[in-house]
């Protein structure tokens, strides 16, 4: 059996009860933290809390060299862990399909994702979000200005009246996490007066939600990671009320249906 387990958003306690039980009962456990990580804990604390050893694998060890994990899952119960949800925030469908090709049974135990937490914290309705995008560090995409993948997504969602989640680049191996102020500064080159909403430390005891124009957000500090940005589309009255009350948004700056 190969069980994919989402660890949730923040620390060793963010996992579901089902996920916790499956992890503790597994014969061996692997994890990847190159796409995201649990900021509120360490590997040592994660292992101690669940009473199990966890082998962390890099991208190549998961995507190009999964043989060790698959071979183990042929005869043992193996847990594969990621932050968030293994099939939503991070997609490991390829690994699951490889397991199926070898006759290995698989199971998915979901965790809370940044997308669902963002909807809950901002008051923006989940069904009114369009396609999400990721804003990379400028050195990571090697082009001048914003990547077309970012601007096209924002523009298309706005044209349809939909909200946009902008995930901010993470280089976990280097402990480098794009801040919301850096993300807003990059977006302000193209959209200085566009309203954005910062969501910081979702899933932690002290999440932050704060709205402003991109130019305004670029000059603010939002504390420890992880951060993301939301660009509201056309808001229903209740959504506008939520952004004003929960994020300090300027009602006059919002597009209200």
What pLDDT is recorded for position 143?
74
| pLDDT band, residue 130 (cuts 50/70/90) | very high
Q: How far is CA 109 from CA 5, 24, 27, 100, in A?
A: 5, 13, 17, 17
What pLDDT is recorded for position 67?
96
For 37, residues 6+ apart whose C-beta sits below 8 A from its C-beta are 83, 170, 172
Neighbours of 137 (CB within 10 A): 15
What pLDDT is recorded for position 90?
74
Whether this model's pTM surpasses 0.85: yes
Average pLDDT over residues 153-175: 94
Average pLDDT over residues 80-93: 89
Mean pLDDT estimate for the chain: 95
For the record, the structure tokens of 142 come out as: 């090697």
Integer Cα distance of 181 and 220 in angstroms: 6
């Amino acid at each position: 059996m190969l069980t994919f387990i989402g660890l949730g958003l923040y620390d060793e306690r963010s996992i579901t009860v089902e996920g916790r039980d499956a992890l503790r009962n597994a014969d061996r456990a692997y994890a990847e933290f190159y796409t995201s990580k649990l900021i509120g804990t360490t590997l040592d604390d994660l292992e101690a809390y669940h009473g199990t050893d966890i082998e962390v694998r890099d991208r190549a060890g998961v995507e190009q060299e999964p043989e060790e994990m698959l071979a183990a899952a042929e005869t043992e119960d193996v847990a594969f862990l990621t932050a968030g949800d293994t099939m939503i925030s991070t997609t490991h469908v390829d690994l699951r399909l490889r397991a199926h090709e070898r006759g290995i049974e698989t199971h998915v135990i979901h965790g809370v994702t940044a997308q669902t937490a963002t909807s809950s914290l901002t008051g923006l309705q989940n069904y009114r979000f369009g396609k999400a995008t990721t804003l990379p560090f400028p050195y990571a995409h090697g082009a001048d200005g914003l990547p077309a993948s970012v601007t096209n997504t924002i523009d298309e969602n706005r044209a349809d009246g939909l909200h946009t989640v902008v995930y901010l680049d993470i280089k976990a191996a280097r402990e480098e996490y794009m801040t919301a102020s850096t993300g807003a500064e990059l977006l302000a080159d193209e959209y200085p007066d566009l309203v954005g909403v910062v969501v910081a430390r979702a899933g932690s005891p002290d999440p932050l939600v704060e709205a402003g124009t991109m130019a305004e957000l670029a000059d603010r500090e939002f504390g420890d990671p992880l951060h993301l940005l939301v660009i509201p589309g056309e808001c229903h009255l209740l959504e506008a009320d939520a952004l004003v009350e929960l994020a300090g948004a300027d009602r006059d700056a919002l597009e209200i249906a």
